[in-house]
Structure 1
Amino acid sequence: MSATLHPAPAATPGPIPNFASEAERAQFTPVALKALRRLLEAWGVTGHEAATLLGVSATTWDRMRAGRWSGTLSQDQLTRASALIGLYKGLHLLFADGMADRWPGLPNRNPLFGGRTPLVAMAEDGIPGMIEARRLVDAMRGGL
């Protein structure tokens, strides 16, 4: 007598966070800041560059980096953090060596960057540039 195998029910994903509610932002802020501190350090980003990428003043970034900031990131700031964290993850899936952390700081001929480094492009182009950089890396690794 053989047993019939039934696949496990698919996990129902929760709602995609849009960071609109204060409670949701308060929940995600500490984790996002911890991840940002690590990835921006790995990328060799200066304090001024980090502040620009996150959309805060250099002084605020210094407090955030040192763990002396007790605020909640805005919806805009969490969207920026999410794009950067996703880009970091995508780069580490794409490259098996140190290139994952060097790539954001290297001049890039892709039309998206126009010879700029991805970091400069993202700083200058804001959230749309960050999302496009992430989408490019996801497409390069076959994730789209």
Structure 2
Amino acid sequence: MNNLKAKSTVEKRNQSAVGFRVALNILERWGCKNDQIMSIMQLERGKFFNAKKEPTSVKLSADQLDRISYVLNIHSALRIVFSNPENVYGFVSKKNHNPFFNGKTPLELMSTGKFGILHDVYRNIDTMRGGQW
């Protein structure tokens, strides 16, 4: 039984590492600075740089894994809405005058580090898929 538990822990850590690497790549392609990434992911400086260097060495909390999920879902929604990479990766850095964003960029809002904002940014981008904007 201990082998199964150990294997499960290793598998979870490997999955977390893959998710972290993918989310980090997306955030960097969005033009995020390290401080913004740390805020969005709720990672302390040391843990962030350790995770960047060796993703499998860092244990991520459920909250941090949820944040990774939102980054991946936002990226997925952007890929569905936009066909060109300029918009997929540039949208979050562009000022948006729709009611939720009120002239701010999605990245400005996400960089506050508030979990609910990640959800709201995702929800607002996801509605673009249905032409509701």
| Range class of TM-score, shorter chain | 0.7 to 0.9
Contact 1:25–1:78 at 8 Å: present in 2 too?
no
Q: How far off is 1:26 after superposition?
A: 3.0
- Does residue 87 of the first structure (1) align with residue 77 of the second (2)? no
Which entry has the higher C-alpha Rg, 1 or 2?
1
2:106 to 96, 118, 134: 118
Contact 2:47–2:58 at 8 Å: present in 1 too?
no
- Does residue 130 of the first structure (1) align with residue 118 of the second (2)? yes
CA-to-aligned-CA distance 1:49-84 (integer Å, 9 cap, x gap)? 100000012332222222266122101101111001
Structure with a larger share of its residues in helix: 2
User: Runs in 1 of length 4+ with deviation above 2 angstroms?
Assistant: 22-28, 66-69
Q: 1:135 to 1:63 in 2, by over 3 A?
A: same
TM-score (norm 1): 0.75
Q: 1:25 to 1:116 in 2, by over 3 A?
A: farther
- Does residue 142 of the first structure (1) align with residue 116 of the second (2)? no
Contact 1:25–1:73 at 8 Å: present in 2 too?
no
Contact 2:50–2:58 at 8 Å: present in 1 too?
no
Aligned AA (1:46): K
Q: 1:35 to 1:58 in 2, by over 3 A?
A: same
Structure 1: gaps spanning 5 or more residues: 1-21
Taking the aligned partners of 2:91 and 2:125, their CA distance within structure 1 comes to 10
Q: Corresponding residue for 2:44?
A: 57
Determine helix, strand or coil for the equivalent of 2:102: coil
CA RMSD, 1 decimal: 2.3
Ranked by relative contact order (alpha carbons within 8 Å, sequence separation 6 or more), the top structure is 2
Taking the aligned partners of 2:53 and 2:14, their CA distance within structure 1 comes to 19
